[in-house]
Amino acid sequence: MVSVERLPKPVQESYEWQYRAACSGLDSAQFFAPASERGPKRERREAAAKAICATCPVIQECLDHALAVREPFGVWGGLTAPEREDLRRTRPRVTLRRSA
Ligand code: SF4
């Protein structure tokens, strides 16, 4: 019998969570900073984006995706890019070992 467990998931299945996103249909500018944005204006925009994420039914899927692809911009899964990078660095890594 052929095992398909190790094959990658179909693309549509991998991204279906996005159909349930709380940000679906909203202005993406809420989640992605203009290059010149700094200081309190940036903090307010990110806080508003994070408030939307906090209500999102797929926040974990979104964060997992952003971490997996090392998404370098925007608020994903309730975290900014620097926050995701911090999480990625401190998160324990899973390694597979073969028994001898
Ligand atoms: S967690 Fe935030 S960025 Fe991710 S899908 Fe939900 S609302 Fe959008």
Q: Of the residues 52, 55, 65, which should be mutated to test ligand 1's pocket, given the most ligand atoms within 8 Å of the CB?
A: 52
DSSP class of residue 18 equals G
Q: How far apart are CA 7 and CA 28, in angstroms?
A: 32
Q: What are the residue boundaries of the structural domains of the chain, listed by start?
A: 11-90
**Count of residues making up the chain:** 100
Token pair of 82 as six digits: 């620097």
Instruction: Give the whole-angstrom CA distance, residue 92 versus residue 78.
Output: 20
* Token duo for residue 72: 């370098």
In this prediction, residue 97 carries a pLDDT of 61
Regarding the beta carbon of 31 and ligand 1, being less than 6 Å apart is answered yes
How much distance in Å is there from the Cα of 56 to the middle of ligand 1? 6
DSSP reduced 3-state for 91:
coil
- Minimum CA distance residue for ligand 1 atom 8: 23
Element (H, E) at 94: none
pTM given for the model:
0.81
Judge whether 73 and 37 are in contact, CB under 8 Å: no
Predicted local confidence at residue 81, as pLDDT: 96
Residues of the chain with pLDDT under 70: 1-2, 8, 92-100
Q: What is the pLDDT of residue 8?
A: 67
What residue owns the CA closest to ligand 1's atom 5? 21
The predicted pLDDT at position 56 comes to 98
Q: What is the pLDDT of residue 11?
A: 78
pLDDT computed for residue 31 by the predictor: 97
